[in-house]
Amino acid sequence: MSRVRTILLIFICLLPKFSSGQSDPDSARISIGYPVYSQYLHNGLMINPAYAGSRDALSTVLSYRMQWMGIPDAPRTESFSLHSPMKNDKVALGLKAGFMQYGVTRSQSIYAVYAYHIRMARGKISLGLQAGADLSNSDYTGIPGITRPDPVFPDNDKSYVFPNAGAGVYYFSDKLFAGFSVPSFLFYRNTGNGNVQAYHSFSEYNFIISAGALINFSSEFKFKPSVLIDYSMNKVNHINQFDINANFIFADLIWAGASWRTSEQVAVGHIQVQINQQLMLGVSYDYPVGRMNSYSKGSSEFILRYEFGSKVSAANPKYF
């Protein structure tokens, strides 16, 4: 119970930081703005609820991302997550929240997470659930060139609250990991006059698939390749995000790597420093190689992870 109280206390203290969201006011289907992450390998709860408890510690992560730098009103994303296994080591709980601002829109999300771990011969398989809500509102008063009143861009757009739930499966051992998640089971559409209707449709599901392995060359040098696929059922090309990652680990202190995001033609460089057993700092930079190179200076992301009561030691480091 002490870990549950600690999780709730930290979350309540940080909750005010994640306020306000997106909707497409005149279209049938309401679109929520979901952020892209480049350092998701160190913040796995944001893409899969089954990741909860896999760090064998009360793990907290803060991240800040500046998307498409150089473009006015480009997305800015802040996220916070924490998770921990409970005393029986089979159940894990977590909380996560995010705030994103882009253009005239602000969106936030708040989710509680539950995971159940099953011990296997060489690792564990985790089954995870998440439930919470996405919140969204837009302020069109600052848009130039609009004659008031405007039926498409009202002065005071209604704020929306979208309850939702998701699930995931995650397998991890000392040598490899693999995950599969469905972030949202529900979808929303505008029925007119500011009214919103929830519905379920398998044909609109998003699936996030991730996998990777650890290759030991020596005690001082390791290689961690991985891949992530964000697959959408309701798009023509289906692939929202496809990352190929390569991480090099030096003396369990420096994590340096690169990623290629084929879906966006973006090259990503990232580095993380494990300052001590509890504290890790990381930074990444996304360089657009395709058409966005003419408009954007790239994207930057910063991450901080701190773990309380960690069982991880220099003799038994945690790589997933």
As a whole number, mean pLDDT of residues 170-180 equals: 96
Tens of pLDDT along 125-170?
Answer: 999 999 999 988 776 666 666 666 666 666 556 678 899 999 999 9
pLDDT score of 97 more than 60: yes
Task: Encode pLDDT of 249-261 as tens digits.
Answer: 999 999 999 999 9
**Mean pLDDT, the chain, whole residue set:** 84
Output 15 or 133, whichever has higher pLDDT: 133
Q: Is the pLDDT of residue 18 over 50?
A: no
Above 70 in pLDDT, residue 24? no
CA distances 1 to 10, 55, 84, 128, 308, Å, are: 14, 18, 12, 20, 15
- Quick one: pLDDT at residue 197? 87
- Report the alpha-carbon distance of residue 23 to residue 17 in Å, rounded: 21
Lowest mean pLDDT among 54-68, 148-162, 213-227: 148-162
Contacts of 57 (CB under 8 A, 6+ apart): 84, 307, 308, 309, 310, 311, 312
Query: Could you tell me which residues come within 8 angstroms of residue 1 by beta carbon, excluding any fewer than 6 positions away?
Result: none
Residue 194's pLDDT is 67
Least confident of 77-91, 105-119, 139-153: 139-153
pLDDT the model gives residue 252: 92
pLDDT at residue 314 tops 70: no
Contact 158, 30 (CB under 8 A): no
Q: Are 237 and 267 in contact (CB under 8 A)?
A: no
Length of the chain: 320
Residue 50 token pair: 């089954």
Token pair, residue 228, equals 């992530």
- The token duo for 101 is 């601002």
| Sequence-distant (≥ 6) Cβ neighbours of residue 268 within 8 angstroms | 38, 243, 258, 259, 260, 261, 284, 285, 286, 287
**Structure confidence at residue 36 (pLDDT):** 79
Is pLDDT of 106 > 70? yes
3-state secondary structure of 273: strand
Percent of the chain with pLDDT over 70: 79
Q: How far is CA 98 from the centre of its chain?
A: 8
Q: What is the pLDDT of residue 142?
A: 64
Give the model's pLDDT for residue 280: 96
User: Scanning the structure block, which residue is given the tokens 């757009």?
Assistant: 157
Instruction: Indicate if the pLDDT at residue 183 is higher than 70.
Output: yes
d(CA 247, CA 195) in angstroms, rounded, equals: 47
Given this model, what pLDDT does residue 113 score? 98
Kindly give, in sequence order, each residue whose CB lies less than 8 Å from that of residue 214, ignoring residues fewer than 6 positions away. Answer: 174, 175, 176, 222, 223, 224, 319, 320
Check whether 192 has a pLDDT greater than 80: no
pLDDT over 50 at 296, yes or no = yes
Res 264: pLDDT? 78
pTM of the model: 0.85
List helix spans (H) across the chain.
2-14
Q: Comparing 136 with 178, which gets the higher pLDDT?
A: 178
Q: Tokens 């005239």 belong to which residue?
A: 104
The pLDDT of residue 249 is 97
12 pLDDT above the threshold of 70 = no
Mean pLDDT of 27-44: 76
- CA 185 to CA 199: how far, in whole Å? 9
